[in-house]
Amino acid sequence: MTKKNQLTKESGLSRRSFLKGVGLTSAGLAVTSGGEIFAEASGDASVKIISPGGATITLEVNGKKHQLKVEPRETLVEVLRDRLHLTGTKIGCDRGACGACTVIVDGKNVTSCLMLAIDAEGKSIETIEGLEKEGELHPVQKSFIEYDALQCGFCTPGMIMSSKNLLDHNPSPNLADVKHAVRGNLCRCGTYPKVFQAVLAASKQNKGE
């Protein structure tokens, strides 16, 4: 009996090829199976042609611009971690299910394992490394320490980014808002109750209460 090694195979379409399709289509590009990539006649002047060797893009991370060459298949989290050495953003599932890779892109929570790096070009990206300003921790970070809203800490960067983004948009959240904001951030250590406390406390501090 011969068996194929299928541990990481999923019904024909791999996550990456799926992503590639989604990502490039949204940028107005189509992918051919031969690895060549053509621009679609979309009339969009911003369309770029990406050669198989990769594309040079500029990523704005924590206010700093980085120019780098990426392959179309590389996800944002890979580029952040492997190229820019911003390893604070974590990978827990690489499939959009755990929230460990949460970063803020143009004011929105994004699971960076599900975004291609080339799709992040021109957008403003915030990661956990960018929260501390001139040696001063962000109120959410301080509050996480104060309420011990972390145990192993692996979900923590993602949890903090979701919480920070909540407070950016809603300075006075209630418990339900907080629960909702971090519902995509899985924590196996079960820090949820302390996260709720920490975020609510940080929102009060923010307003000087």
User: Which of another protein, ligand FES, none does 101 bind, CB closer than 5 to 8 A by kind?
Assistant: ligand FES
Residue 197 interacting entry, from another protein, ligand FES, none, C-beta within 5 to 8 Å by type:
none
Complex with ligand FES: residue 49 or 189, whichever CB lies closer: 189
Beta-carbon count within 10 A of 180 CB: 13
- The yes or no reply on residue 198 touching ligand FES (CB under 6 A) is no
Q: List Cβ neighbours of 137 (8 Å cut-off, separation of 6 or more).
A: 131, 145
Nearer to ligand FES, 162 or 191 (CB): 191
Distance, in Å, from the CA atom of 138 to the CA atom of 142, rounded to the nearest integer, reads 6
By CB under 6 A, the residues from 138 to 197 that bind ligand FES are 150-156, 187-189, 191
* Residue 169 found at the interface with another protein (CB under 8 A): no
Give which of another protein, ligand FES, none residue 113 binds (C-beta under 5 to 8 Å, depending on kind): ligand FES
CA distance to 155, 162, 165, per residue, from 11 (Å): 29, 32, 36
Q: Which stretch binds another protein (CB under 8 A): 29-37, 43-51, 54-62, 122-130?
A: 122-130
Written as one string, the DSSP assignment of 16-75 is HHHHHHHHHHHTTEEE-TTS-EEE-S---TT----BTTBEEEEEEETTEEEEEEE-TT-B
Q: Does 96 bind ligand FES (CB under 6 A)?
A: yes
Chain residues in the site for ligand FES (CB under 6 A): 91-94, 96-101, 111, 113, 150-156, 187-189, 191
